[in-house]
Amino acid sequence: MRVLLVEDDLLLGDAVREFASRLGHAVDWMQQLSDADAAFCGVAYELVLLDLRLPDGCGLQFLRKVQGAANCLCIVLTARDQVGDRIEALNMGADDYLVKPFDLQELGARIRAVTRRSRQPQLRMLRFGDLQLDLDSRIARVGEKIIVLTSREWAIVDALTRRPGATVSKQDLEEVIYAFGSEIESNAIEVYVSRVRRKLGRGLIETTRGMGYRLGNP
């Protein structure tokens, strides 16, 4: 997923960005609301990790903008631990609320949980002949054999399953796996798609010539 992290604490922000990147997400880290607002206007983020106390304002202002966007989830990360604060953020559209300090593994579990809830039930487990994809647990099996995918290979698969039947452009796939400032190799998407096909079968990902890629028919 393309993730927007809005956090002014340098140590925590760096730790969260590194952790989420290891999970296969492309993370853009902004430390002020103004920068987050500019980034959000230009990128179709799927998840926002949002602090509430920021140098140039309260994150609840930004939460209203996130709530108005289609298909974008939000987890609030804050030291504000009063019940009233949680109720306010959840009523304003936050999908989850995590109080600092928190364990990064718990954050990973919360990300998986909100993602799972947002996914259509029929797209949480897919079958393509002998291939079975458990999208929640990120487990791929061919018959009884578990096939190991890298985080970026899973990111490609996940991006396509979120838009079943639709063609996803190469640029959109690049945005899923590369954050701001990352060096993008010209043939990176082709390489990752080729690896997925080699591991899981060519029928999983179809090429729409000149346009991009789409999920095959399960």
Return the pLDDT at 96: 95
Pick the CATH number of 121-215 from 3.40.50.700, 3.40.50.2020, 1.10.10.10, 3.40.50.150: 1.10.10.10
> Could you tell me the residue ranges of all domains in the chain?
2-118, 121-215
- pTM more than 0.85: no
Instruction: Indicate the average pLDDT of the chain.
Output: 88
Mean pLDDT, consecutive 10-residue segments, the chain of 218 residues? 94 95 90 93 90 91 83 91 91 93 95 80 74 85 90 88 85 84 80 93 88 85
Q: What is the DSSP string of the chain?
A: -EEEEE---HHHHHHHHHHHHHTT-EEEEESSHHHHHHHHHHS--SEEEE-SEETTEEHHHHHHHHHTSTT-EEEEEES---HHHHHHHHHTT-SEEEESS--HHHHHHHHHHHHHHHS-GGGSEEEETTEEEETTTTEEEETTEEE---HHHHHHHHHHHTSTTS-B-HHHHHHHH--TTPPPPTTHHHHHHHHHHHHH-GGGEEEETTTEEEEPP-
Pick the CATH number of 2-118 from 3.40.50.720, 3.40.50.2300, 3.20.10.10, 3.40.30.10: 3.40.50.2300
Return the pLDDT at 116: 80
Residue with tokens 């998986």: 112
Return the pLDDT at 186: 79
Cα→Cα distances 14→7, 24, 27, 67, 178, Å: 9, 16, 11, 25, 16
Return the pLDDT at 31: 96
Cis amide leading into 164 (omega within 30): no
